[in-house]
Structure 1
Amino acid sequence: MSMRQTLFSRPLPIALFIVVAIAADQFIKYLVEALLPFQQAVPVIPMLALYRTHNYGVAFSMLSGMEGWFIVSMRLAVVAFVLWLWRRTPKDRFFAHLGYAMIIAGALGNLVDRLLFGYVIDYVLFHTETWSFAVFNLADSFITIGAGAIILDELLQSKRGRSLKL
């Protein structure tokens, strides 16, 4: 049985995707910094607002008390680990490779902020009158959706493995 290589299992497409994703993330963050008031909600629709803030930690402000070099090192280690996983994953696993590309793009997008400003620019807020979710950005969305794609890939592989045994 021959293995069909997926788009993001090849170096050039994954590199292009990552560059475009980082550029989109940085462009949106530039607009957010230029146009949105700091820490004031700008309603978009019920339960969704734009809310510019600066995150000195990692996702959802975790580790915000840690030194910047530690967070930069941690992000680089995550990127290296995901690249290692990408290389080891069979080339026919579309959702896994897509997920790896998204995680790398998100991690590098936030790393650019950390290196340029010392913090990450966040701007999306889901909320109700009594509850609000952590403020996040496009790079965070890439990381979350990427992790979901990898989980989906694992579930599909598990199902495929069971159907082959029947």
Structure 2
Amino acid sequence: MSQFRDEAGAERGFELQNAHWLWLSALVIAADQVTKQLMVNHFALYESMPLLPWLNLTLVHNTGAAFSILRGSTPWLFVGLSVAVVIGILVWMRRHPHDSRLLAAALSLVAGGALGNAIDRATRGFVVDFVDFHIGAWHYPAFNLADCAICTGAFLIAVDMLLPKRGG
């Protein structure tokens, strides 16, 4: 068994620390892929269905990053970046204490969202977006559940950074 020393210098066996939070990543990936497939199966490209006066379901293909930045770049650039981010997240989760629940959940959300969009890029060459928030004629860039998970995770990371830490 591999050994390492914790912050207090005590020797401990190898632990996966926060790996049990990866169920949240798997849930995000599954929900994201199911909703995207439902949209692809039931909507034509740019077809829109109003849900609320300020919210539509509209099928769009995003070949860029957030807000279509770098539109038209090779999808493999974004797949590689997503994989690198997820590897970084796994290392970060591994190095943080088991009781850092908020941070572990936040990182799991970001990892699930990143992988959900990477799956699209690897299999379709673009990301399926469909949530169309608008006010009058102004439309926010369309997004999906993976994007929601990434933003929620990023917000929770910021909250975790602002919370006082125990024992410090």
Q: How many residues align?
A: 153
Which residue in the other structure is 1:137 paired with? 144
The Cα shift of 1:100 comes to 0.3
- RMSD of aligned alpha carbons: 1.9
In 1, Cα distance between equivalents of 2:96 and 2:66 = 26
Which residue in the other structure is 1:10 paired with? 18
Which residue in the other structure is 2:14 paired with? none
The Cα shift of 1:65 comes to 2.9
Q: Structure 2 counterpart of 1:50, which letter? A: L
- Aligned pairs (5 A) from 1:5-154: 10-11=18-19, 13-154=20-161
Q: Is the 8 Å Cα contact of residues 102 and 146 (structure 1) preserved in structure 2?
A: yes
Structure 1 or 2: more helix by fraction = 1
In 2, Cα distance between equivalents of 1:88 and 1:71 = 26
The Cα shift of 1:142 comes to 0.4
Post-superposition Cα deviations, 1:104-151, rounded to whole Å, max 9, x if no partner, equal 000001111111111110000110113211100000000000001111
In 2, Cα distance between equivalents of 1:48 and 1:54 = 18
Which sits farther off after the overlay, 94-103 or 59-68? 59-68
What's the secondary structure of 2:153's corresponding residue? helix
Q: Which runs of 4+ in 1 moved over 3 A?
A: none
The Cα shift of 1:37 comes to 2.9
TM-score, normalised relative to structure 2: 0.83
Which residue in the other structure is 1:5 paired with? none
Gaps of 5+ in 2: 1-16
Post-superposition Cα deviations, 1:40-89, rounded to whole Å, max 9, x if no partner, equal 32110011111100011122211213222211111111111111221222
What's the % identity of the aligned pairs?
Answer: 36
Structure 1 or 2: more strand by fraction = 2
